[in-house]
Chains A and B, each alone.
Chain A
Amino acid sequence: MTDIPRRTRLALWIQREVGRVLSVFWIPASAFALRYVMRYRIQDAARLRKRFRALVRESDEPILICANHLTMVDSMLVAWALGGSWWYFFNYRRMPWNLPEHRNFASVWFGKAAVWITKCIPIKRGGRREEVSGALKRVKYLLSKGETALIFAEGGRSRTGRIQLDSIAHGMGRIASSVRNCRALVVYLRGDRQRSWSTVPAVGDSFYVDFELVRPHSERTGMRRSREYAQQIADRLVRMEEKYFARRK
Chain B
Amino acid sequence: MSRDETYAKVMEIIGRYAKNKDALEGASEDTNILEDLKVNSARLVDVILDFEDEFDIEVADEDADAVNTVGDAVSLIEAKLG
Contact = CB atoms under 8 A, between A and B. Distances in A.
B79 interface: no
A219 interface: no
B41 interface: yes
Interface of B: 34-35, 40-42, 45, 48-49, 52, 58-62, 64-68
Interface residues of A, number: 21
Contacts of B66: 129-130
Contact of B60 (A126, A155, A166, A223): A223
Interface in A38-71: none
A223 B59 contact: yes
Contact of B45 (A125, A126, A221, A227): A227
Nearest to B64: A223
Interface string A209-247: 000000000000111101100000000000000000000
B49 A174 contact: no
A166 B64 contact: no
Contacts of B41: 125-126, 132, 155
Given A128-B68, A130-B66, A222 B59 contact: yes
Nearest to A169: B42
Given A133-B62, A167-B42, A223 B67 contact: no
A129 B52 CA distance: 19
Contact of A129 (B59, B60, B68): B68
A168 B49 CA distance: 15
Contacts of B59: 222-223
Interface in A136-168: 155, 166-168
Given A170-B42, A227-B49, A130 B61 contact: no
B52 to A, nearest CB: 8
Contacts of A129: 64-68
B31 to A, nearest CB: 15
13 contacts: A126-B35, A126-B40, A132-B65, A133-B62, A155-B40, A155-B41, A166-B42, A167-B40, A221-B58, A222-B58, A222-B59, A222-B61, A223-B52
A129 B49 CA distance: 16
Nearest to A226: B61
A198 B34 CA distance: 25
Nearest to B62: A133
A13 to B, nearest CB: 24
A169 B52 CA distance: 20
Contacts of B68: 128-129
Contacts of B52: 222-224
A221 B61 CA distance: 10
A222 B49 CA distance: 10
Contacts of A221: 58
Contacts of A130: 65-66
Contact of A155 (B42, B48, B67): B42
B59 to A, nearest CB: 6
Nearest to B67: A129
